[in-house]
Chains A and B, each alone.
Chain A
Amino acid sequence: MIKLKNVSKIYGKNIKALQDISLEFSEGELIVLKGVSGSGKSTVLSLIAGLSKPTAGEVIVDGKKISKMLDHFTASYRRENIGIVFQKYNLIPDLSVEENVLLPLFPLNLSRELMRQKAKRVLEIFSIAHKVSLMVRNLSGGEQQRVAIARANINDPKIILADEPTANLDEKLSREFIEILRELKSKKRTIIVATHDPLFFELDFVDRVINLEHGKLL
């Protein structure tokens, strides 16, 4: 389903984030990318999401060369197939929970009714519906993460990418997040988590743990 073929990524003049790596991920798998900061985990997620393009090599998702796509197509690919949960949530603090969750759908100009239904559904799934009208800045860290997860799932994406999702959570909230991942996996979503949180490494529902160091596979 997802293929990285001989991918290298160099930032700026000579910061080698990834060096000639090849990876494959199958549908419905939950993979943990493990490594210290700067090992290249987030770069792998960024390439799969089409947020950046590889310096060399190819990224292929469902047979489509993401790395060669134009901006317009990458955006719709992302909107339809990818849900991203960022380390810092990347919500817009002065918008309400509902607005943040619906933000990916704004360019589609859907009917108000459909938008409301979609928001209600994900907010209920991720137990944040009671905060629908609150400004995100007034939520706790755990609640903000639920909003971020709800936003990532607003379009039922096939692929969920999570970048250090528990870095800002205490252990209780981290376990809650893991339960959410379990649920998502049960729905046959492909999930890739980039983390160095040991909680993830021994989970019974994790299919693979991939080690990265200095942009290379170990």
Chain B
Amino acid sequence: MSKINFYLLEYAYSYILRHKNKNIFIVTIFTLLVALLTTLFFVTSSLRYELKERIANQSDIIIQNYKAGMPAAIDISVLNKLLEIKGVTAGKLEIDGKYYFKPKESIFYLLGVDAFEMQNDPMVIKLLEKYELSDSEILVSRNVQDIMHQAYYKEYFNFIKPDGSLQKVSIKASFDVGERVELKNLIIMNKDTAREIFGYGVDEGSGIALSVANKNELESISSKIRLLLPNAKVTSKDELLLEYEKLFNYDSGVFLSLFVIALFTFFIIIYDKANGLSSEEKREIGILKAIGWCIEDVLHAKFYEATLLSFFSFILGLGIAFVYVFIFKAPLLGRIFIHENMLEIHNFQLNIHIELSYILLIFLLSVPVYIAATLIPSWRVATLDADEVMR
């Protein structure tokens, strides 16, 4: 089997064409199965990748205050208490949050920064090195800039404060967030400006971010904080990851139905193939043997036939899944995989990120199985006496 025999390859190809109807059915089911599985893997690996990217720039532990089950301001005195916990190396009061811009029904993410505090996000660090912000200036992402332009805000913007008064700021510059789609609605401003917009007091913020020296202690330190602040929501980096992953709330019922149907049909094909050949197929193998083909030649041709068919279906399924997920952004089925919040509130997007190990797994689960299911019955028939096959 070392050298490609093009005559056998052509024979295999013609065999596929000669049994067109049956093979179109096989290709359809095979492709559908591969496309379904690949879609699932493409979606999950793409979202997981984005998730990891997001988490990478997060603080180790984030504490938010809750009153009557609602998010509430947190006082700086809490930070001093938390810094006394062993293992906590640094902490800062954060002022950030969502701002609903009604005219364009958009949600902006406001981040208050202090040029003298350490930042986690490399993009924010770069921006602060480049621009010095006064209390009346903001930096906006390109997307925010576009939204503001549509509402005729070009050089300045008016935020509406909780008491109904306006906070006027000038737009100093806009920035590109690249593939960081979670930051596409980001507005950066000084902490005091953000405090004014959200209506926090002088020593208040939206949360506290802590750094921990040993990442293995995240859980135990989080537990200590929970005991110390029973009303607070304490989220470690690990928990954040889990929380996000819970949003992969795909509707397993619908997906499983589709998957099981495709898998079931695929295995019926496999079962049907493995259980024997039709009398016509047997006769053809008998003819080939009678005119001088040996068992190896028959298997060689059958190998080409199964490889052509399964490889074609595999590549087609892969291509369909790629176009469906990354070009069309998984319409209809995408909602099965991704919770609506994921796309709309968390701004998750399906960027191209493919894990080859998954592709390999799907390949191993389909192509070799089909090849084996084609070769085994052909081998059984080819090992019989040719006259027995033809009688």
The segment from A91-99, A126-134, A190-198 found at the interface with B is A91-99
Is the C-beta of A211 less than 8 angstroms from some C-beta in chain B? Answer: no
Taking a contact as CB atoms under 8 Å apart, the answer to whether A107 and B292 are in contact is: yes
Min C-beta distance of A96 to chain B, whole Å: 9
Min C-beta distance of A136 to chain B, whole Å: 12
Q: Which of A70-86 contact B (CB under 8 A)?
A: 71-72, 74-76, 78-80, 82, 84, 86
Interface centre among B18, B291, B385, B388 (most CB of A within 10 A): B291
Partner of A95, one of B5, B14, B387: B14
Is the C-beta of B386 less than 8 angstroms from some C-beta in chain A? Answer: yes
Is the C-beta of B383 less than 8 angstroms from some C-beta in chain A? Answer: yes
Is the C-beta of B289 less than 8 angstroms from some C-beta in chain A? Answer: yes
The residue of chain A having its C-beta at the shortest distance from the C-beta of B11 within the complex is: A106
Is the C-beta of B181 less than 8 angstroms from some C-beta in chain A? Answer: no
Min C-beta distance of B66 to chain A, whole Å: 75
CB-CB under 8 A from A91, the residues of chain B are 287
Taking a contact as CB atoms under 8 Å apart, the answer to whether A71 and B292 are in contact is: no
CB-CB under 8 A from A105, the residues of chain B are 7
* Interface mask (B372-391 → A, CB under 8 Å = 1, otherwise 0): 00000000000101111010
Partner of B291, one of A43, A52, A103, A115: A103
The segment from B140-148, B214-222, B293-301 found at the interface with A is B293-301
Q: How far is the CA of A104 from the CA of B8 in the complex (A)?
A: 11
Q: Which of B298-330 contact A (CB under 8 A)?
A: 300-301
Taking a contact as CB atoms under 8 Å apart, the answer to whether B18 and A78 are in contact is: no
Is the C-beta of A151 less than 8 angstroms from some C-beta in chain B? Answer: yes
Min C-beta distance of A217 to chain B, whole Å: 21
* Interface mask (B275-293 → A, CB under 8 Å = 1, otherwise 0): 0000000011011111111
Known: A79-B291, A90-B287. A51 touches B8 (CB 8 A): no
Known: A51-B387, A104-B292. A75 touches B284 (CB 8 A): no
Known: A71-B383, A109-B7. A84 touches B291 (CB 8 A): yes
CB-CB under 8 A from B383, the residues of chain A are 71
Taking a contact as CB atoms under 8 Å apart, the answer to whether A51 and B290 are in contact is: yes
Is the C-beta of A49 less than 8 angstroms from some C-beta in chain B? Answer: yes
Q: How far is the CA of A74 from the CA of B297 in the complex (A)?
A: 13
The residue of chain A having its C-beta at the shortest distance from the C-beta of B385 within the complex is: A52
Taking a contact as CB atoms under 8 Å apart, the answer to whether A78 and B292 are in contact is: yes
CB-CB under 8 A from A75, the residues of chain B are 289, 292-295, 297
CB-CB under 8 A from B11, the residues of chain A are 103, 106
Q: How far is the CA of A200 from the CA of B297 in the complex (A)?
A: 37
Is the C-beta of A53 less than 8 angstroms from some C-beta in chain B? Answer: yes
Taking a contact as CB atoms under 8 Å apart, the answer to whether B387 and A76 are in contact is: no
Q: How far is the CA of A178 from the CA of B300 in the complex (A)?
A: 38
* Interface mask (B1-30 → A, CB under 8 Å = 1, otherwise 0): 001011110010010001000000000000
CB-CB under 8 A from B283, the residues of chain A are 90
Known: A78-B290, A79-B291, A109-B7. A52 touches B387 (CB 8 A): yes
Known: A53-B385, A106-B7, A109-B3. A94 touches B18 (CB 8 A): yes
Q: Which of A42-57 contact B (CB under 8 A)?
A: 42-43, 46, 49, 51-53
Q: How far is the CA of A72 from the CA of B287 in the complex (A)?
A: 16
Taking a contact as CB atoms under 8 Å apart, the answer to whether B385 and A78 are in contact is: no
CB-CB under 8 A from B293, the residues of chain A are 75, 79, 104, 106-107
CB-CB under 8 A from A86, the residues of chain B are 290, 390
Q: How far is the CA of A79 from the CA of B378 in the complex (A)?
A: 21
Taking a contact as CB atoms under 8 Å apart, the answer to whether A106 and B289 are in contact is: no
CB-CB under 8 A from A76, the residues of chain B are 292, 294
CB-CB under 8 A from B291, the residues of chain A are 78-79, 84, 103-104, 151
CB-CB under 8 A from B390, the residues of chain A are 51, 86, 90
Interface centre among B6, B289, B294 (most CB of A within 10 A): B294
CB-CB under 8 A from A151, the residues of chain B are 291
Taking a contact as CB atoms under 8 Å apart, the answer to whether A107 and B297 are in contact is: yes
Min C-beta distance of B23 to chain A, whole Å: 13
Taking a contact as CB atoms under 8 Å apart, the answer to whether A72 and B296 are in contact is: yes
Q: How far is the CA of A105 from the CA of B7 in the complex (A)?
A: 9
Taking a contact as CB atoms under 8 Å apart, the answer to whether A107 and B5 are in contact is: yes
CB-CB under 8 A from B297, the residues of chain A are 75, 106-107
CB-CB under 8 A from B5, the residues of chain A are 106-107, 109
> Which B residues fall within an 8 A CB radius of A?
3, 5-8, 11, 14, 18, 283-284, 286-297, 300-301, 383, 385-388, 390
> Which A residues fall within an 8 A CB radius of B?
42-43, 46, 49, 51-53, 71-72, 74-76, 78-80, 82, 84, 86, 90-92, 94-95, 99, 102-107, 109, 115, 151, 155
Counting from the closest, the 6 A-B pairs by CB-CB distance are A79-B292, A75-B294, A52-B385, A106-B7, A107-B297, A51-B387
